[in-house]
Structure 1
Amino acid sequence: MAKVRGKLYVTVPSLFRCPISMDVMRSPVSLCTGITYDRSSIQHWLDSGHDTCPATMQVLPSKDFIPNLTLHRLIHLWLLSAEPTSPEPRFPADHLSALLRGIQSEVKDLAVSLSKIAEFVKISGENRRFLATFPGFDSAIVRALAGSTTRIDALENVISILNSVFRENGNSAVAGERIRRLILDSREECLASMLSVLRNGSSKSKIETVWVLEFLAFDFQSKKSIAETRGLMSFLIGLLKDGEEELNDALLSLLAVVSVTQSAKIEIVNCGLVEVVSKILRNEACLVATAERCLRMLAVVATCAEGRAAMAAEPSCAAAVVEKVAKASKTAAEDAVAVLWSLCCLCGNVKVSDDVAKRNGVTVILLVMQRGLEEHVRSMCMDLIKVLRGACKNPLELGSYDTKTTHIKPC
């Protein structure tokens, strides 16, 4: 228990706080990753179109969650025993209005005002929700983002604030939608500022910038607009080559989200995506979640001829996919099958087929087929088995398979 300005505040056990809102969980539920969230927060996250666990950023094979009854009882007992507390400190409305005016006025006030607001949103989910709906916040924060390209300290605070507000309120909230629209309307200036943080910001700020970009990529048009930002995609690939694991996870997630057009896919292939992703997959220390993001990225570029050609030309690509597919989730395994089918069946690359067959590809595909795959993925598996049997010196007697795989067509 702590005393702040004469008022008592109960110290909340970290286990009782939701990783998203940072508030005490009212209805704790657990995802398949084992991470527990408050039901309203994780439901909001999933309803906003995300398919990842917010804490680990691991792709979710299932979006189902189950009540954590044990933790619910512990929180209930703790609440009964805890002393009544005063609300967490919040800026008076007139103070917050003054800070927002500071954002929009002289440069000397900008960094100070942004710093104070950044600290304010870190205090609680209540503060983040309050700020998101505060009159004038949306236009002020977007104006600060668009006009602070030369102030990296100010930009880092802007990104921190936006990341906190987006994560708390989600894409589907009115406040999040309004801010996203304003940023996309000022796309050239705002994205130039984000690119500045990616170039010159701290590692934490770079990761938060990538997260903000992913929040902005909500529909086809916004994804297309972000991907078409001059120099952005090539710079993201450059970061991916040199990034730390947490940054790489964020980058792979964003690239998979915004690569919705053929031109975007071709651009990232030409920037060396296949080579860097194959290198990440070959790393024995590569985490399962990171490997799954790599497989998703390869499946994305496998839908264009340039992507398939680059994967066929990369000596270690197919081999790395075969090595990782056995430990991948169902969704990632389906991505891996799509990649191998594209190379061995759609392109008919004999060299790749031989390489996959030598690495027990038939056995791997048979094991994958036991995981209850979608029908079109099973068809791809059957195609692969027939091709790989032909590549084996001692093919397995697996019978005859008929298939009608039509979901991927040559570009």
Structure 2
Amino acid sequence: MAFFWKRPRASRLAGKKPLSKQNSQIELTIPTHFRCPISLDLMKDPVTLSTGITYDRESIERWIRDGNETCPVTNQVLTNFDQIPNHMLRKMIQHWCVENQAHGVERIPTPRTPITSYDIMEICSKMMDSASKGDGKSCLDLVEKINVWAKESEQNKSLIKDNGLGFVLAATFEAFSGLSFEKHKDLLKEILLLLTWMFPLGVEGRSKLGSTQSLRCMTWLLSIDDLLLKKSCALTLKELVSTDQAHVKALIDIDGLAEVLINLINTPDSLSVKKSSFSVIYHILSTQIGHKKLSSKFLELGVVELSLEDLVEADKGLSETVLGVLDRVLDSREGRERVQKHALAVPLIVKKILRVSSLATDFCISMLWKLNKNSDGGALVEALHVGAFQKLLLMLQVNCGEETKVKATELLKLMNQYKNKLECFDSGHFKYLRKSY
């Protein structure tokens, strides 16, 4: 490993000539014992393992996080994962850097001491105490300190996640959710930003965030014009409703929820917010109570039109969620009428069959089946015109769920009734069916 330093040209004011081309570059070699055995780069924070081999902290932490339990050099099984700072070697490296500053080498700063489980336990205790007293300023200071720790290294992040801090933050959020939202807005925002990279939380943590007062607070926060806050709130709601239906039941009783979620879909330049919002709507409509209470409201607010509009250029993740929402909408007569009136509905549904994922295909077949159940056949004829027959026929030849296969078979039977009415449809395709439809 070597540094290459190009000698700067002399100042014109000094009247000196530039160096000759032969002397314009100097090769500077890093001493072997200053290099990390893993990255082969100059070590910034040398630490020694139980095997006596020294590595750069960042490199060996990444090695251990990847599931390795041996020393990379000796291949010995590590009896423990303790990383002892090699202060002597670090000072030697820093001294070497200072000596070679003229060659363009920057001095390596003294690394921060990594946090320990004790540090996290201490901050948990302080935060719980401050939260019980309603001291929002102290809690905000502690949250900012945790943020600093998390930004220092991935190891710090892992320790924070593994030592119960997620529950303490969730409990603190619940405590201040019962107080003035606007007064503690900054604290509540910072807590949510921290929690988004701590998911999945444990049952206790989710119960705190999923309480009625916490959910009401998040709904209020979503109405604030702050994209970062919307992202963290929407992601938190998605995490809660996807893990426990009890949180869905608590969420649907909050006033103004439908309007907030529809507004989230319209958030510009934020695909993650859009996905999270559709996911929450999907889980709400998937429950009997949620469908009964909010289905009509979502329809009034234009969820069908928004869904179909976003479906045109949607990626895999968004397509699956949007199709799921539309499938749930079709469970009601009002929803079926709304979808049938939209010119893009049937063509888009047919287009997505076998083009996104097996889950998306299941939703598409289910939607076609619901649209044509007890209908006049208009949607079925339209589906035939845009190539649904060939795709459904292929569905019978590939591996798919039994329920989906049954619905595809039933749709083919219904299509057989309309084959003679289609001028542009080649009824000869039916001869390839294994059964008589």
TM-score (normalised: structure 2): 0.67
2:273 equivalent in structure 1: 247
Gaps in structure 2 of 5+ consecutive residues: 1-42, 47-53, 86-112
2:358 equivalent in structure 1: 330
1:267 equivalent in structure 2: 297
2:187 equivalent in structure 1: 154
Q: Deviations over 1:141-166 (max 9, x none)?
A: 42134435113322211212333343
Q: Deviations over 1:182-223 (max 9, x none)?
A: 3444x1x32232123212263333222122213322333321
Stretch deviating more after TM superposition (370-379 or 98-107): 98-107
1:166 equivalent in structure 2: 199
Amino acid of the structure 1 residue aligned with 2:402: E
Of 210, 228, 237, 2:253 maps to: 228
SS at 1:293 equivalent: helix
> Greater relative contact order (Cα 8 A, min sep 6): structure 1 or 2?
1
In 1, the alpha carbon distance for the partners of 2:143 and 2:225 equals 16
2:163 equivalent in structure 1: 130
In 1, the alpha carbon distance for the partners of 2:74 and 2:304 equals 52
Amino acid of the structure 1 residue aligned with 2:375: G
In 2, the alpha carbon distance for the partners of 1:334 and 1:357 equals 18
In 2, the alpha carbon distance for the partners of 1:388 and 1:349 equals 12
CA 1:88–1:110 in 2, change beyond 3 Å: closer, same or farther? closer
Of 397, 402, 405, 2:430 maps to: 397
Gaps in structure 1 of 5+ consecutive residues: 18-22, 27-71, 171-175, 404-411
CA 1:278–1:191 in 2, change beyond 3 Å: closer, same or farther? same
Of 210, 214, 218, 1:190 maps to: 214
CA RMSD of aligned residues (A): 3.4
In 1, the alpha carbon distance for the partners of 2:73 and 2:328 equals 47
Shift of 1:236: 0.5
Of 318, 322, 337, 1:309 maps to: 337
In 2, the alpha carbon distance for the partners of 1:266 and 1:120 equals 47
Shift of 1:24: 1.0
CA 1:118–1:202 in 2, change beyond 3 Å: closer, same or farther? farther
8 A contact 2:166–2:205 mirrored in 1 = no
Identity of aligned residues (%): 15
In 2, the alpha carbon distance for the partners of 1:359 and 1:239 equals 32
In 2, the alpha carbon distance for the partners of 1:206 and 1:79 equals 49
2:176 equivalent in structure 1: 144
TM-score (normalised: structure 1): 0.71
CA 1:156–1:13 in 2, change beyond 3 Å: closer, same or farther? farther
8 A contact 1:386–1:401 mirrored in 2 = no
In 2, the alpha carbon distance for the partners of 1:102 and 1:148 equals 16
Amino acid of the structure 2 residue aligned with 1:354: V
1:211 equivalent in structure 2: 235
Shift of 1:291: 1.3
CA 1:164–1:288 in 2, change beyond 3 Å: closer, same or farther? closer
CA 1:181–1:92 in 2, change beyond 3 Å: closer, same or farther? closer
Shift of 1:109: 2.9
Higher-Rg structure is: 2
Q: Is 1:370 matched with 2:397?
A: yes
